[in-house]
Structure 1
Amino acid sequence: MSNKRLNLSVMAAIVVFPLALHADVYKLDAVETTAIQASMVNNDGISDGFLDKNVTVGPLGKKKAIDTPYQINTIPKELSENGQAMGLEDVVKYIPSAQIEYRGGADLGRPQTRGMRGEVVANSFWDGLHIVSTTATAMEMFDDVQIINGLAGALYGPTAPSGIYSFTRKRPTADYENTVKMTYGYKGYGEAMADVGGMANDAIGYRAVVIGGDGEGYVDNSALRRKLVSLGLDFHLTDRLTLETNFSYYNYIKEGYSGSYLMPYTALGVAKYTLPDAFDATDKKYGPNNGGREITTTTYSTKLKYEIADNWHAEAGYLNQRADRDMYISSSTFNSNAGTYTPAVVKVSPMAARFDLDSWMGYVTTEQNFLGLEHDLALGGNGYRWDIYGADGSRRYVSSTTDVESLTLADTIKLNDQWQTVLSTSKSWIDKDAYATTGATTSEIDNDGYSYAASLIYKPLKNLSFYVTYADSLQQFDPVTYLNKTFILDPYRSKQYEIGSKLSLDRVDLSAALFQIKRPTAYLGYDGIYEIQGDQTNQGVEFMASGKVAESVALFGGVTYTDTDITGAKIANVDNKQAIGMPEWQANLLAEYTVPSFKELVLSSNFHYTGKRAIDPANTQWADSYFTTDLGARYITKQLFGDKTILRLSVNNITNEKYWAGVYAGNVAGLDGDAAAGTTTLFLGDGRNVTASIEVKF
């Protein structure tokens, strides 16, 4: 344990322990034992809006969405269930400001918002604890995922300006939760799931999710296999103290699907060939049978929640996660303007083969009145230790180690009934060491710094709020491996300005924001040095709406416009150009219709649009925009089996639209899309996929 980490633990104990000594004078009814909250979607579909619902904002704890100076969107489990989603890549489309960078594929990509590339660990959390984002994730484990758009380092420690993805795991419930589900894909994939939970006695609660699936995907001769075991146990030690424990094992195999395609570009950032129209991802000739991946992720975590007093709450947690990534990539390279390519040769991926992660957090929150004002205070810290293993032939070796620790102080100050301000700051320490395949140290970083954020919220009416937010955040560079060496740069700063508004009407909620984010970019220059060489500035506007527009019609969707501008690039030909892979326009609309004369039947449709994206730094070639349509139907009845039976049918991409879904600068030479000669990696979007299921609740 490093000295800084020990200091953090001691400081947290100094803060919490004296408060605990005075806790016995208070009578509390019970500790909050479940993370389940009312969401924007009820058991059947989209409900009335979302702004009056609770969201979790780091150490600030639970807030009503309308009272937060950020754009926060929630994807609840009902959207995942009704869309028959397996991973985050299947549901992130519902939020138009969010994307996944297909670094290795959609199921292994980096989640992001507002067109800023995400980090592997810093921006993703399970129950407030850092996790690895670039591994397969089973959505069936979670009640929801909340997405905070933009920059949030003052609350979460050093992060990329790519948003925060916060997953809430399913917890034991007071009433028994017993569900079984059978799923079938039209090419032959079959899956069984059980989700059970309840209270073993007054002191112990349990929640378990088990999945087994195997068969052929939407591509002939492909293979898809899933095994999940997720267990949560809650121990109510006293009426004020609860211990939450979690374990999960997820094995995910996907083979025979289309691989990636590489578009080389010149030293002036110009694509060498014309990009052809996207191929048919359902055609087996684009998916080598021996290409694919096996991803195994094992996670242990525990969290202690303590209601110290009526207005004092403390919680602390620890998580350990190992993600093994056996990847056999198939990357074809375009070689002519006619769209021909050099066929893929399946090989072991040089990407990280294993991630080992330990993360921790601890916070105390309280509500106090002093100096004539109401304060909602939060004090605590979080951090993680992250080891990356590279693949060197048949062996794995540690290519880098990252240690990050942060202390955070935040205060929400109510000035009067209409005005409040949110102030937050974090002090962070970042240690990074990188290694060659021989074990020799190639780079060392030991740095620290502060992150800040300040917001002002104005509520002229109870159902209307306006806010302005400024954030200045420390960010660390992810380690980058090139020619058997791993490079690490000193931390740098990202800045964001945001103005937004939120309106809650009778049955529909609306939110909108204007934003500007600026961050440095780094790449390998002509001199062979990996360093910061320019800035990326993203500015735009986003809009979201949710609710029932009629008794039988509900909508959930929005639109985002983002302009991405590269400045200060050392190659004049790529200066003031759009970043690779970032669409200017993205929109999504989910609509549900409950048949008035037959209310057990709900019909749904989801329409998604992504605009064109640059595929080379000089912006001479673009991947076309695309539009997909998903259709679904579900029938809910109490007349078949158990307490309730739900029959679902989903047809995703019903028109079998052919499109380039993933576009990103594919190597260290052009990691951020503004570099010297390199390649852009492209992935095909999923083809038509039909899924049917029957779910029975007991």
Structure 2
Amino acid sequence: MSIAHTCFRALLVSSAALMPAAVHAQAAPAPAAADSGEIVVTAQRENRTQVIRGGQIGILGDKDAGDVPFSVKSYSETLILNQQPQTLGQVLENDPSVRTTYGFGNASEQFVIRGFALFGDDIGMNGLYGLTPRQLVAPELYQQVQVLNGATAFLNGAAPGGSGIGGSVNLITKQAGDQPLTRATANYTSTGHVGGSFDVARRLGDGSFGVRINGALRGGDVAIDDEYRRSVVIGASFDWRSDKARVFVDLAYQRVKVRNLRPTVGLAAGVTAIPRVPKSDHNYGQTFAYTDLRDIFGTVRAEYDLSDSAMLYASFGARDGYEDGVYDGITVTDIVTGAANGSASYIPRTDNNEAAQAGLRVKLDAGGITNEFNFGGSYIWQVNRNAFDFRTGFATNLYDTPQVAYPGRSFAGGNLDNPFPIQRNRLASAFASDTMGFLDDRILVTAGLRLQTIRVTRYAYATGAFESRYDEDAATPVIGVVVKPTDGLSIFANRIEALVQGDTAPNGANIINPGEAFPPFKSKQYEVGGKLSLGRFNMSVAAFQTERPSAYSVSTPIPGNPDAVTFGIFGEQRNRGIELSVDGEPVEGLRIIAGGSINDAKLRRTAGGLNEGNDAIGVPDYLANANVEWDLPFLPGTTLTGRVVRTGKQMVNPENTLELPGWTRFDLGARYVVPVAENPLTLRFNVDNVADKRYWSSAFGSFGTALLQGMPRTYKISASVDF
């Protein structure tokens, strides 16, 4: 373990032990007494901010959405508190361009943005990659969940996990605000998942020093039969601010345990139809399956104003991650009877990741033209230690699932007791950009370039010996334009790229270029759109096209070997789409978050022309969301909530002979604020999937088809009191 990880452990333990006493000693005096009506009105007002139009636009810094040529929005901690999500995926259900699926066999969320995967490995935290827990993220620690639709290789750098072509997610940790906060929350989720959380924040002394400590503990069975989940999370944030300098330290610990996860469902070769959906709460997983995740992580950030127009900034973060689990899978062989083959594996893993970024931002104004320059660099270090133990298959059934004993070993690789490194990643970059403003910044033109190097070293599972190295570089430019013809209206366009590690030609008897490493894949994106902000109401629309290269082998007969093939970058997936998003409070007491997207994802230049022009697997042809809140004027303190989520049809195989039908889910809820001893008590009751609809929600998988069943009807109850 590195010195950085050791320091983070020590800081986290000491902060958890010392800060409650400090907060108590420095607590602000109690506010003056207020009447009950004022308490209720204030509490309801604080529940209004759910979506923030803007966020951290990578190296460009914090920007309003109307000033950048990209599609960005952020979901606030208020939304997280009121909707009671247990995972990051449940927060992102509010976004009409994002859907959630699972990884292979384990409790692991991954996301589909504009038809491309975003792995948990590539979720950012405070602008840095590799620090967020990679499988499941407890939302309680975060002040904002920022979603930037589209490619971001220039803005954020290449994602180390090799995803993020269609968009990125960045988590902003909670910080102390100007007002003191002491909040306790208790919650219950059907059918037996209970827990609570706390959130304490203070500004100390003259207000230059801030601290915020929050955490949550919850556990028990969820609405799926016999699926058990437990989460423990605690975070501490410290900040110090002076006239010229700002320093932020964020530390966190997360432990998640999942037992008897309901897995995704595969289809065996020869299956010619989609199996009917099992009962909504039926669990076809095995009781021997579990996922155990532990992460210690954090960031240190600093900013220094050289002048009113120049700022130096730097950030560093680290994560020590541990994963242990027995993962199971199910592959249906007979859609009528539900007969299936089961699989099991034991896969221990540890991750030691570090990331750093530093830069200079300068603003100049001369001759009626403004310039904002950005210069800097970033570096990511990652070490993955891994081993595997695959077990023999077993007979099971999708509808009448037997529980079997843990199968015997089939084959294993690596040191199961103490996994050794099997992969080291090193990603380095240098960047420069300029945003020029004309006509009082009514026209903004951004141009930039990032030079990036990707180095991946792999080691043999069996012995840990050096196996191969990938070492390639690429330049990723950006050009974007924003035109603001009138206040509140902006029209934008961009051309930007995504960047992921290129493939390496595999070894094979007939492959004539084994071991050839290809340059990083560039996915070119073109986007145009508009944004409208009317103060209380926001709207945005965007049309985009993204092209992702793909690799396969083509026949290349040579003398003596008529079956010879060449592996290369020959194919492509092209996604085109339109997105619409609205949010705000068009009339007093009525708030909405809504939108929709259309996505046309096509396979192009396919091997031998097979499946040419077909739809890509697991990409819905359209998405639509609507979330509504209404403060009842005739019943003070009461808010009714409702949400509808609609997902269009998805293709299940590249031949497009199998498809999932579209599905619709309805959620309902209510909040009630009542004063208790001059403190607001907020009671919440939500029901997700009110109709208890059974449906396949996704066909998107990391390794081919993976049918994910939607959650059953789920009741959520919580009570929060602010002291």
Give TM-score scaled by structure 1 length. Answer: 0.85
Distance 1:116-1:324 versus aligned 2 partners, 3 A rule:
same
What's the CA shift string for 1:337-366, capped at 9, x where partnerless? 4252325344324xx723321111112212
Choose which of 178, 182, 191 in structure 2 pairs with 1:178: 182
Asked if the contact 1:275/1:339 (under 8 Å) is kept, the reply is no
Asked if the contact 1:155/1:424 (under 8 Å) is kept, the reply is no
Distance 1:106-1:204 versus aligned 2 partners, 3 A rule:
farther
What's the CA shift string for 1:594-636, capped at 9, x where partnerless? 1111130001001001111111111110122111111111111
Map 1:41-120 → 2, pairs under 5 A: 43-45=46-48, 50-51=52-53, 54-104=54-104, 108-119=108-119
Where does residue 243 of structure 2 map in the other structure? 239
Where does residue 214 of structure 2 map in the other structure? 209
- C-alpha displacement of 1:134: 3.0
SS state at 1:664 partner: coil
Where does residue 299 of structure 2 map in the other structure? 301
Asked if the contact 1:97/1:560 (under 8 Å) is kept, the reply is yes
Asked if the contact 1:113/1:162 (under 8 Å) is kept, the reply is yes
What's the CA shift string for 1:96-117, capped at 9, x where partnerless? 1123342247962333421112
Where does residue 388 of structure 1 map in the other structure? 384
Measure, in 1, the Cα distance between the counterparts of 2:352 and 2:552. 26
Q: Does 1:515 align with 2:544?
A: yes
Where does residue 276 of structure 1 map in the other structure? 275
Where does residue 169 of structure 1 map in the other structure? 173
Measure, in 1, the Cα distance between the counterparts of 2:172 and 2:257. 24
Choose which of 326, 329, 334 in structure 1 pairs with 2:327: 329
Q: Does 1:342 align with 2:379?
A: no
SS state at 1:174 partner: coil
Query: Gaps (5+ residues) in structure 1?
Result: 1-40, 266-270, 668-678
What's the CA shift string for 1:576-608, capped at 9, x where partnerless? 211111111011100111111113000100100
The aligned amino acid for 1:113 is: I
- C-alpha displacement of 1:133: 6.1
Q: Does 1:490 align with 2:519?
A: yes
Map 1:429-440 → 2, pairs under 5 A: 429-437=453-461, 438-440=463-465
- C-alpha displacement of 1:434: 1.5
- C-alpha displacement of 1:441: 3.0
- C-alpha displacement of 1:324: 1.9
Segment drifting more, 491-500 vs 326-335: 326-335
Q: Does 1:662 align with 2:664?
A: no
- C-alpha displacement of 1:482: 11
Asked if the contact 1:655/1:688 (under 8 Å) is kept, the reply is yes
SS state at 1:66 partner: helix
Map 1:217-236 → 2, pairs under 5 A: 217-236=222-241
SS state at 1:78 partner: helix
SS state at 1:599 partner: coil
Where does residue 644 of structure 1 map in the other structure? 680
Measure, in 2, the Cα distance between the counterparts of 1:586 and 1:663. 15
Distance 1:642-1:397 versus aligned 2 partners, 3 A rule:
farther
Where does residue 657 of structure 2 map in the other structure? 620
Q: Relative contact order: is structure 1 or structure 2 higher (C-alpha 8 Å, sep ≥ 6)?
A: 1
Distance 1:401-1:531 versus aligned 2 partners, 3 A rule:
farther
The aligned amino acid for 2:691 is: T
Where does residue 472 of structure 1 map in the other structure? 497
Asked if the contact 1:135/1:297 (under 8 Å) is kept, the reply is no
Where does residue 572 of structure 2 map in the other structure? 535
Asked if the contact 2:505/2:568 (under 8 Å) is kept, the reply is no
Where does residue 534 of structure 2 map in the other structure? 505
Q: Does 1:688 align with 2:688?
A: no
What's the CA shift string for 1:408-460, capped at 9, x where partnerless? 11211112133221112111111111122122333311111211111121111
Distance 1:522-1:652 versus aligned 2 partners, 3 A rule:
farther
Map 1:143-158 → 2, pairs under 5 A: 143-158=143-158
- C-alpha displacement of 1:298: 1.2
Asked if the contact 1:443/1:487 (under 8 Å) is kept, the reply is no
Asked if the contact 1:297/1:321 (under 8 Å) is kept, the reply is yes
Asked if the contact 1:296/1:323 (under 8 Å) is kept, the reply is yes
Measure, in 1, the Cα distance between the counterparts of 2:705 and 2:138. 29
Measure, in 1, the Cα distance between the counterparts of 2:174 and 2:285. 35
Map 1:544-555 → 2, pairs under 5 A: 544-555=581-592
Distance 1:287-1:525 versus aligned 2 partners, 3 A rule:
farther
Where does residue 409 of structure 2 map in the other structure? none
Measured on the aligned residues, the alpha-carbon RMSD in Å equals 2.7
The aligned amino acid for 1:127 is: N
- C-alpha displacement of 1:257: 3.2
The aligned amino acid for 1:321 is: R
Asked if the contact 1:205/1:234 (under 8 Å) is kept, the reply is yes
SS state at 1:117 partner: strand
Map 1:393-432 → 2, pairs under 5 A: 393=389, 394-395=416-417, 396-417=419-440, 418-432=442-456
Measure, in 1, the Cα distance between the counterparts of 2:313 and 2:542. 32
SS state at 2:641 partner: strand
Measure, in 1, the Cα distance between the counterparts of 2:61 and 2:331. 48
Where does residue 358 of structure 2 map in the other structure? 362
Asked if the contact 2:52/2:75 (under 8 Å) is kept, the reply is no
Aligned residues: 632
Distance 1:272-1:558 versus aligned 2 partners, 3 A rule:
same
Measure, in 1, the Cα distance between the counterparts of 2:181 and 2:506. 46
- C-alpha displacement of 1:690: 0.5
Query: Gaps (5+ residues) in structure 2?
Result: 1-43, 390-415, 509-513, 556-563
Distance 1:501-1:232 versus aligned 2 partners, 3 A rule:
same
Where does residue 310 of structure 1 map in the other structure? 308
Identity of aligned residues (%): 22
User: Which structure: larger Rg?
Assistant: 2
Segment drifting more, 412-421 vs 491-500: 412-421
What's the CA shift string for 1:618-677, capped at 9, x where partnerless? 11101221111111111112x22562211011111111111222323453xxxxxxxxxx
Asked if the contact 2:214/2:235 (under 8 Å) is kept, the reply is yes
SS state at 2:47 partner: coil
Distance 1:387-1:487 versus aligned 2 partners, 3 A rule:
farther
Asked if the contact 1:126/1:169 (under 8 Å) is kept, the reply is yes
Asked if the contact 2:107/2:261 (under 8 Å) is kept, the reply is no
The aligned amino acid for 1:82 is: N
The aligned amino acid for 1:262 is: G
Distance 1:584-1:648 versus aligned 2 partners, 3 A rule:
same
Where does residue 135 of structure 1 map in the other structure? 135
Measure, in 1, the Cα distance between the counterparts of 2:247 and 2:210. 10
SS state at 1:293 partner: strand
Measure, in 2, the Cα distance between the counterparts of 1:42 and 1:528. 65
Distance 1:313-1:146 versus aligned 2 partners, 3 A rule:
same
Asked if the contact 2:176/2:212 (under 8 Å) is kept, the reply is yes
SS state at 1:135 partner: coil
SS state at 2:448 partner: strand
Where does residue 616 of structure 2 map in the other structure? 579
Asked if the contact 1:429/1:447 (under 8 Å) is kept, the reply is yes
The aligned amino acid for 1:635 is: Y
